[in-house]
Amino acid sequence: QALSSGLRPAIERGEFALEYQPLVGMEDGRVRGVEALVRWHHPRFGTLTPNQFIGLAEEDGSIVQLGRWALKAACRQARRWQLERPDEPPIFVSVNVAVRQVWDSDLVADVAGTLAETGLAPHLLQLELTESAVMGSAGRPLQALQALSDMGVHIAIDDFGTGYSNLAYLSRLPVSVLKLDGSFVRGFQYEGTGVHPNPADEVIVEAMIQLAHRLGLTVTAECVETSAQASRLRRIGCDTGQGWLYSRPVPPDRISELVVSE
């Protein structure tokens, strides 16, 4: 496959870049953190988004190298924002971690090394893992999650609600954040779009938020697109929102503007 064979050299040639999407406090609308999302500026095919190459990278194992690159680039950027705005509360950076990074690489050593090298405080780093990455995470993966959590790094479950894990199980893992999958938010208060609201989604989301809070987890809603959705989410206690209502993923200099102008 043309793309796949080019992944490793492309990392070395510097063809990958990160965009960032704000994670916004629902109470006050302030940017608390950002999610780093990788882009491939391909010399022939133009800008490629993750769904066009992450699968390939997972198959051929280059996701380990790409993930390591993304981790370092994101931490370096977060530290830069902090130094640019020394009097403001620092924003954290949330980095996606693929299953293979947990199983096939020394994630703990990579994270510790990156934090030391960039000078970013551990509590300003959040790692997003999918349910499938932590499901049945006995042995090595669980030790890795525990070591990262002990270090002060936050662990988030990405796309929560789409897999088969449950809160009872997750509460026994060193996880501190649930990112509610966008499909839940999409179902409610979607006015003027032709998509019919699904009242069950709202009931389920409210119950999940209450349960998560009682288990000591915070909740981020993905795919918040309308202010109606945001006010609903705020009322049922959702902590943080992410989505086009606030901002699309943008290059790092645009984040500086967003944070300064708030």
Residues near ligand G, by CB under 6 A = 21, 37-38, 49-51, 54, 63, 67, 70, 96, 98, 158-159, 182, 222-225, 242-244, 249
When asked if residue 128 is in the footprint of Mn ion (CB under 5 A), the reply is yes
Q: Restricting to residues 31-50, which ones interact with Mn ion according to CB under 5 A? A: none
When asked if residue 225 is in the footprint of Na ion (CB under 5 A), the reply is no
Q: 90 is in the binding site of which of Mn ion, Na ion, ligand G, none (Cβ under 5 to 8 A by kind)?
A: none
Return d(Cα 214, Cα 210) in angstroms, integer: 6
When asked if residue 50 is in the footprint of Na ion (CB under 5 A), the reply is no
> Quick one: 37 or 115, whose CB is closer to Na ion?
37
3-state secondary structure the chain: CHHHHCHHHHHHCCCEEEEEEEEEECCCCCEEEEEEEEEEEECCCEEECHHHCHHHHHHHCCHHHHHHHHHHHHHHHHHHHHHHCCCCCCCEEEEECCHHHHHCCCHHHHHHHHHHHHCCCHHHEEEEEEHHHHCCCCHHHHHHHHHHHHHCCEEEEEEECCCCCCHHHHCCCCCCEEEECHHHHHCCCCCCCCCCCCHHHHHHHHHHHHHHHHCCCEEEECCCCCHHHHHHHHHCCCCEECCCCCCCCECHHHHHHHHHCC
Give the total of residues touching Mn ion (CB under 5 A). 3
Q: Restricting to residues 135-194, which ones interact with Mn ion according to CB under 5 A? A: 158
The span of 40-48, 63-71, 157-165, 191-199 binding Na ion (CB under 5 A) equals 157-165
> Quick one: 82 or 160, whose CB is closer to Na ion?
160
> Quick one: 54 or 217, whose CB is closer to ligand G?
54
Q: 167 is in the binding site of which of ligand G, Mn ion, Na ion, none (Cβ under 5 to 8 A by kind)?
A: none
Q: 22 is in the binding site of which of ligand G, Mn ion, Na ion, none (Cβ under 5 to 8 A by kind)?
A: none
- Least Å from the CB of residue 50 to Na ion: 11
- Least Å from the CB of residue 9 to Mn ion: 26
- Which residues form the interface with Mn ion (CB under 5 A)? 96, 128, 158
